[in-house]
């Protein structure tokens, strides 16, 4: 199934937040159950519809790694995969 977001929404696959302690122990992202703040863009909507009838250009593209507001995304699950739906306005930065 292919996801096609509407308007200025973006579909993001969350990055895992495994951390390595000084002693070499891996702490998985499930340790604190916090929502992710980074991910990779997997689908981009056509842009927000402007009053003129045209659409604004999206500033993120498929494959971009992004940082977003912690509690803004909506969680969805499609075919066993978890994704986040985020408004482009809630994306803070592109990681280069």
In tens, the pLDDT along 24-57 reads 665 555 544 556 689 999 999 999 999 999 999 9
Q: Which CATH number fits domain 9-95: 1.10.8.100, 2.30.33.40, 2.130.10.10, 2.20.25.190?
A: 2.30.33.40
Two tokens at 32?
């604190």
Dist CA 24 CA 73 (whole Å): 32
Which CA distances in Å does 86 have to 19, 24, 56? 25, 34, 16
Tokens, residue 65: 């790694």
For the four alpha carbons of 89, 71, 96 and 16, in that order, the dihedral sign comes to negative
pLDDT of 70 > 90? The answer is no
Record the pTM. Answer: 0.76
The number of helix segments (H) and strand segments (E) in the chain equals 0, 8
Residue-level pLDDT at 2: 82
């Amino acid at each position: 199934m292919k996801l096609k977001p509407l308007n200025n929404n973006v579909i993001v696959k969350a990055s895992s937040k495994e951390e390595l302690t000084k002693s070499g122990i891996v702490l998985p992202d499930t340790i604190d159950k916090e929502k992710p703040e980074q991910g990779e863009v997997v689908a981009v909507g056509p842009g927000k519809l402007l009053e003129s009838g045209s659409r604004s250009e999206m500033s993120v593209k498929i494959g971009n790694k992004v940082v977003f507001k912690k509690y803004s995304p909506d969680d969805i699950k499609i075919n066993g995969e978890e994704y986040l739906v985020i408004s482009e306005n809630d994306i803070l930065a592109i990681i280069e």
